[in-house]
Amino acid sequence: MTPLVERIRTAPPRLGAVRVVAVDGPSGSGKTVFARELAGALRASGSDVAVVPTDDFAIWDEPVQWWPRLVSGVLEPLRRGEPGRYRRVEWPDGEPVPGEWVTVDPPEVLVLEGVSAARRSAAGSLSMVVWVEVPDPALRLERAVARDGESTRPFLRRWQEFERDWFAADGTRSRADVRVHR
């Protein structure tokens, strides 16, 4: 992880003074675990790091349409050197509801983690794109079901179809600076 940490620490900030590292890839590939490990390694190297998961925004019926809330609530304030703020989506009883408010103080490095974090429309603000993938969709599905519960299986199947089409249209994988296979 040390070479990646050094690349990030020396990458130019592109969101005001913030270096944004987008950790993207299909669901069930280990993006959240990787982002947590990366944030820990960056902190150990002396960087101030914030992590914002796209799962705090996405719901089954709006897998990527929430992006303007992230831009206006987090990215634009951070670009100006101001704290960002957003209301996290929570899932009691398997239904999305508005959750707690989250404040994101301007960090040196923002790890933006989750499906569509590295979308083409954000490319100019990203210092680095990390693509995390388990190539086998069946294994990814089983990992996601193990994480989210058996009742989510039909939703996760639809999600996999959506993200396959999203990544193909967006060209996300081809724009990655680093590819991680888990």
HEC letters along the chain: CHHHHHHHHHCCCCECCEEEEEEECCCCCCHHHHHHHHHHHHHHCCCCEEEEEHHHCCECCECCCCHHHHHHHHHHHHHCCCCEEEEEEECHHHCCEEEEEEEECCCCEEEEECCCCCCHHHHHHCCEEEEEECCCHHHHHHHHHHHHCHHHHHHHHHHHHHHHHHHHHHCCHHHCCEEEEC
Task: Name the pTM for this structure.
Answer: 0.95
Would you state the pLDDT for residue 111?
98
Q: What is the pLDDT of residues 49-83, one digit of tens each?
A: 999 999 999 998 899 999 999 999 999 999 999 99
Please state the rounded mean pLDDT for residues 28-44: 97
Question: What's the pLDDT at 85?
Answer: 98
- Judge whether residue 37 has pLDDT over 90: yes
pLDDT tops 90 at residue 92: no
In angstroms, the CA 152 to CA 18 distance is 35
pLDDT at 93: 74
Q: Name residue 29's amino acid.
A: S
How far, in Å, CA of 86 to CA of 108, rounded? 19
State pLDDT tens for residues 93-124: 778 899 999 999 999 999 999 999 999 999 99
Query: pLDDT at position 94, please?
Result: 73
Question: Residue 136 pLDDT more than 80?
Answer: yes
User: CA distances (Å), 18 to each of 2, 30, 47, 125, in order?
Assistant: 20, 24, 11, 9
